[in-house]
Amino acid sequence: MNLEQLIDKTIDILHGMNYTEGTWKHAFRNGRCSALRQFFSERGKEEFCVDTAREYIAYIQKRYENGEFSFYRSAHLKKMAAWLIQVHETGELRWKSGMKSKISLNSFFEDTLEGYLASRRGALSERSIVSHRSDIRHLLGYLQHEKDYVDFARLTPRDVQAFMLFMRQGREGRLDFVAHSVRSFLSYLNSSGLVDADLSSALRMRLQRPAKIMSRLSPEEIDLILSQPNRDTAVGKRDYAILMLGKSTGLRRGDIVNLKRSDIDWKADELRITQSKTGVPLVLPLEPDTEDAIVDYLLNGRPKSNLPYVFLRGAAPRAAISPQLVGTMFGRYLSKAGISHTPGDGKSFHGLRRSMASLMLEADIPLTTISQVLGHRKMDSAAPYLSVDEKNLRRCALGLKGIEVRAEGLSW
């Protein structure tokens, strides 16, 4: 069976098991399957193969042992591959209980958790509800199994801080999100009369994620990648147009795959979209070379279809392409261009977005303008791009003139 067909079949089964749409759409399709898709693609396999899936599970385990993945991340990735193997071999998933959280809670904690989530529905997206459920379940599991609490009578700020230290291992990348969930839950406990004081004060200091230097692709590397698609073919025309959009607009993969023909104002040479990640409307200029690439695909490469989306799958069934396909496509052209790539080096499709922002910064374009072009809701979101602006960072370097140092301090 084709890998994509098997993934769709597995997700349909999961959907029928009362998982929320946010869980199966975002966590399963967009998160846990993307690494598996790339693994199969790098080995030139479109058909599902049990041996390759088991090789993938061993590969994920090795990366966990090397410290590249947290325990939870590796467990989720391996579990998805195991589900695919089972559906491939049996046509069904027979162990639903294994998919639920292994954190058992007493009835009081379970009821409190559900009450909290009910109070947040409408204020949070379904995806955020899923995240809050997981974080609070870990908190309650810690209180019940590590502290032997059966309710909140003895809960103190020190307990909350101890839980955050408990969660730090393997979760540094999202510890601030856990803190946000816990802070919200503690406020709920206070407003509901379940605790006498607002213990959220124990988390007044926001837990920052480690600062990262945002890597990017060089202009030369981008030109090499753009030269790879075979523009004499329909798929090549499509891929080239997508790459040009990424290079010239900095659009995220999700916004490119959701781009509709009605989003293009040909007379004004503009794109007018609502961003899928933020829900914020965005208007961007459409450069002539990018517009020409899109027109070439629409007229000479796009399959005949009444679907509103600009970019469609090259093979039946006709449908909009997925963000994962864009990532896999980019990785293929990266490899063909002879550009080496390791996780976290910035050489991904999102790297086109970072590269555009960095080039704008080097051209002395204000950060406020860059933030608007990228569609950020807050200007602070664009701040990490400052880390790659070597030209202006050099101006910040301080000399040692005027700093008196004792001679003996200079010897080793």
Catalytic residue numbers, as ranges: 252, 277, 350, 353, 376, 385
Whether the CB-CB separation of 39 and 84 falls below 8 Å is answered with no
Beta carbons within 8 Å of 318's beta carbon, 6+ residues apart:
303, 305, 307, 312
Beta carbons within 8 Å of 354's beta carbon, 6+ residues apart:
214, 215, 216, 217, 346, 385, 388
Residue with tokens 């945002």, as numbered in its chain: 214
Whether the CB-CB separation of 160 and 96 falls below 8 Å is answered with no
Burial class (CB in 10 A: 0-12, 13-18, 19+), 325: buried
Whether the CB-CB separation of 7 and 51 falls below 8 Å is answered with no
Q: Where are the alpha helices (DSSP H) in 121-174?
A: 126-145, 157-168
Whether the CB-CB separation of 235 and 358 falls below 8 Å is answered with no
Cα end-to-end distance, the chain, whole Å: 66
Residue with tokens 């009444």, as numbered in its chain: 306
What does 257-283 look like in DSSP terms, one character per residue?
A: HT-BGGGEETTTTEEEEE-TTT--EEE
